[in-house]
């Protein structure tokens, strides 16, 4: 490339709301640091921002939750107009979308018609309006009920929490999104599992349009010194919602010796219910820590035996897993979604069938009784994190896609 191409990174938020936003911002930072591109970020103006003095923050679209409760849920006209103004201002060569469907809405895709556009898909939302891939909010949707764009199945089966209104709104928005997928030239999935799910769902995305690029650890994270010792506790990290399966974990802990300690880092709508369950069952060995910042999380990873991810929904590519591995900690996780691509059973962790309490208990006890195995699995996990989930690999694969898109225009 003779000139610096302009890359516009787009995400709903310019703040650490979740893993998708962190990946979007880390991508922006890498591109800035490499200095091979001119890079811009656009989002809504909900604070706190990743950067307090970001020069284009005044160009962000207004975050107005009251407006979002109405038609903007499907088509945020204000966001579309603000996005168009910013596009005209910076004149990007490529637009790279991340987590945009929620507040920004499908409306911004109308601005991408004449510009090469990439979308990194962090969840199953273009396949499943409820995102969870749980039919009736309970059983895993193995047959992809909404296959071929039949999103009305979400409404019929009441797949999303919140009753008829929520299911109706999510179903209708899925049609708004699907109609505009044609404006996206390339799709990136962090896991092969999500890529295969999307292709099998037959929603109009062709095989050569979608590639897998794993999520990554930043150069700073890769400097982490692994710790193969521990302070005798297991660790859950994440959102406390039903699909994350913490209720399974508490049920397993209830039947295990009380000297098995569990720390839970995170918050969410299920927190009070989970705390009540722990209280009723006298689980004094379970500690709810609430939200923890990055430094606090690093200490928690460093000193645990292993982390546990007992989810019962389609996890794409959990960043908590690679964060655990870089600290030298193995992972006990559900065999679902993209997790088996990260965790190799009995090599850098253990896999169990989602919701199988007995298997989960056996995994916990095995690690508790075999400190040497914990160390071996931890070392294997660290090696995988260093070799497979590094920033250099991510940048090269992403840069190759940018190059080909610009060359083909």
Per-residue pLDDT of the chain (409 residues; tens, 9 = 90+): 457 899 999 999 999 888 889 999 999 999 999 999 999 999 999 999 999 999 999 999 998 877 666 677 788 999 999 999 999 999 999 999 998 887 888 999 999 999 999 999 999 999 999 998 888 877 788 788 999 999 999 999 999 888 998 899 899 999 999 999 999 999 999 999 999 999 999 999 999 999 999 999 999 999 999 999 999 999 999 989 888 999 999 999 998 999 999 999 999 999 999 999 999 999 999 999 998 988 999 999 999 999 999 998 889 999 999 999 999 999 999 999 999 999 999 999 999 999 999 999 999 999 999 999 999 999 999 999 999 999 999 999 999 999 998 887 6
> Could you tell me if 173 and 236 lie in one domain?
no
pTM: 0.91
Provide the CA 91 distance to its chain's centre, in angstroms: 29
Q: Helix, strand or coil for residue 60? A: coil
Q: What is the pLDDT of residue 310?
A: 97
Taking a C-beta distance cutoff of 8 angstroms, is the pair 60, 42 a contact?
yes
Q: What is the pLDDT of residue 80?
A: 95
Using CA atoms, how far apart are residues 253 and 247, in angstroms rounded to an integer? Answer: 10
Q: What would the two tokens of residue 368 be?
A: 């508790």
> Could you tell me if 281 and 356 lie in one domain?
yes
> Could you tell me if 365 and 378 lie in one domain?
yes
- End-to-end C-alpha distance for the chain, whole angstroms: 13
Q: What is the pLDDT of residue 2?
A: 57
Q: What would the two tokens of residue 173 be?
A: 């928005």
Using alpha carbons, select from 14, 8, 13, 88 the residue that is nearest to residue 51: 14
Q: What is the pLDDT of residue 68?
A: 60
> Could you tell me if 315 and 398 lie in one domain?
no
Whose tokens are 């989002």? That residue is 43
Letter string b/e over residues 205-225, b meaning 16 or more CB atoms within 10 A of that residue's CB: beeeebbbbbbbbeeebeebe
Burial of 148 (0-12, 13-18, 19+ CB in 10 A): exposed
* HSE value, Cβ hemisphere, 13 Å, CA-based, for 302: 10
- Per the document, the length of the chain is 409
Q: What is the CATH number of the domain that holds 398?
A: 3.40.50.2000
Q: What is the pLDDT of residue 1?
A: 44
* 289 Cβ neighbours under 8 A, 6+ residues apart: 263, 264, 265, 266, 300
> Could you tell me if 167 and 294 lie in one domain?
no
Q: What would the two tokens of residue 97 be?
A: 């979308």
> Could you tell me if 205 and 278 lie in one domain?
no
Task: Give the H/E segment covering residue 170.
Answer: helix 163-180
**Structural domain span for residue 267:** 220-388
> Could you tell me if 185 and 120 lie in one domain?
yes
β-strands 134-135, 139-140: how paired? antiparallel
Q: What would the two tokens of residue 244 be?
A: 């994350």
> Could you tell me if 211 and 260 lie in one domain?
no
Taking a C-beta distance cutoff of 8 angstroms, is the pair 101, 177 a contact?
yes
> Could you tell me if 291 and 330 lie in one domain?
yes
Q: How many domains does the chain fold into?
A: 2
> Could you tell me if 291 and 184 lie in one domain?
no
> Could you tell me if 384 and 399 lie in one domain?
no
The backbone torsions φ and ψ at residue 361, rounded to the nearest 5 degrees and listed phi first, read -60, -40
The backbone torsions φ and ψ at residue 27, rounded to the nearest 5 degrees and listed phi first, read -65, -45
Count helices and strands in the chain by DSSP H and E runs: 15, 14
Provide the CA 10 distance to its chain's centre, in angstroms: 16
Using CA atoms, how far apart are residues 148 and 335, in angstroms rounded to an integer? Answer: 26
Q: Mind giving me the DSSP string for 256-324?
A: S-TT-EEEEE---TTHHHHHHHHHHTT-TTEEEEE---HHHHHHHHHH-S-EEE---S-----HHHHHH
> Would the CA dihedral through 235, 237, 242, 244 be positive or negative?
negative
Whose tokens are 């190759």? That residue is 400
Q: What would the two tokens of residue 131 be?
A: 């995102």
> Could you tell me if 25 and 150 lie in one domain?
yes
Q: What is the pLDDT of residue 70?
A: 66
Helices 271-280 and 246-254: angle between axes, nearest 10 degrees: 10
Q: Helix, strand or coil for residue 234? A: strand
Instruction: Count CB neighbours of 294 within 10 A.
Output: 11
Using CA atoms, how far apart are residues 194 and 81, in angstroms rounded to an integer? Answer: 31
Using CA atoms, how far apart are residues 144 and 354, in angstroms rounded to an integer? Answer: 18
Q: What is the pLDDT of residue 137?
A: 78
Angstrom distances, CA of residue 149 to CA of 125, 175, 189, 351:
12, 8, 19, 32
Q: Secondary structure of 103-129 in the HEC alphabet?
A: CCCHHHHHHHCCCCEEEECCCCCCCCC
């Amino acid at each position: 490339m003779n000139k610096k191409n302009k890359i516009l990174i787009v995400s709903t938020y310019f703040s650490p709301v979740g893993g998708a936003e962190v990946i979007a911002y880390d991508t922006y930072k890498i591109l800035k640091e490499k200095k091979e591109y001119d890079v811009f970020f656009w989002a809504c103006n909900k604070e706190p921002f990743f950067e307090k003095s970001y020069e284009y923050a005044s160009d962000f679209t207004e975050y107005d939750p009251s407006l979002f409760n109405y038609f903007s849920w499907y088509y945020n006209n204000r966001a579309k107009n603000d996005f168009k103004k910013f596009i005209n201002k910076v004149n990007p060569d490529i637009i790279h979308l991340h987590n945009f469907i929620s507040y920004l809405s499908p409306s911004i895709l109308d601005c991408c018609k004449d510009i090469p556009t990439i979308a990194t898909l962090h969840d199953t939302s273009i396949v499943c309006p409820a995102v969870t891939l749980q039919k009736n909010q309970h059983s895993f949707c193995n047959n992809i009920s909404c296959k071929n764009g039949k999103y009305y199945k979400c409404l019929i089966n009441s797949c999303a929490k919140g009753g008829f209104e929520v299911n109706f709104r999510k179903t209708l928005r899925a049609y708004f999104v699907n109609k505009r997928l044609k404006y996206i030239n390339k799709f990136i999935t962090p896991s092969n599992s999500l890529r295969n799910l999307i292709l099998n769902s037959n929603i109009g995305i062709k095989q050569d349009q979608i590639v897998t690029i794993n999520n990554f650890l930043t150069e700073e994270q890769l400097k982490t010194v692994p710790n193969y010792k521990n302070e005798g506790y297991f660790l859950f990290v994440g959102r406390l919602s039903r699909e994350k399966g913490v209720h399974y974990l508490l049920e397993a802990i209830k039947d295990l010796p009380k000297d098995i300690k569990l720390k839970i880092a995170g918050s969410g709508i299920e927190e009070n219910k989970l705390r009540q369950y722990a209280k009723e069952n006298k689980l004094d060995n379970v500690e709810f820590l609430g939200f923890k910042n990055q430094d606090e999380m690093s200490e928690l990873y460093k000193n645990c035996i292993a982390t546990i991810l007992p989810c019962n929904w389609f996890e794409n590519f959990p960043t908590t897993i690679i964060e655990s591995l870089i600290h030298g900690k193995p992972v006990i996780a559900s065999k679902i979604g993209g997790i088996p691509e990260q965790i190799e059973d009995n090599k850098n962790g253990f896999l169990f069938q989602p919701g199988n309490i007995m298997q989960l208990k056996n995994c916990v006890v095995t690690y508790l009784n075999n400190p040497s195995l914990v160390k071996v699995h931890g070392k294997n996990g660290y090696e995988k994190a260093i070799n497979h989930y590094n920033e250099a690999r991510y940048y090269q694969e992403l840069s190759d896609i940018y190059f080909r898109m610009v060359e083909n225009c």
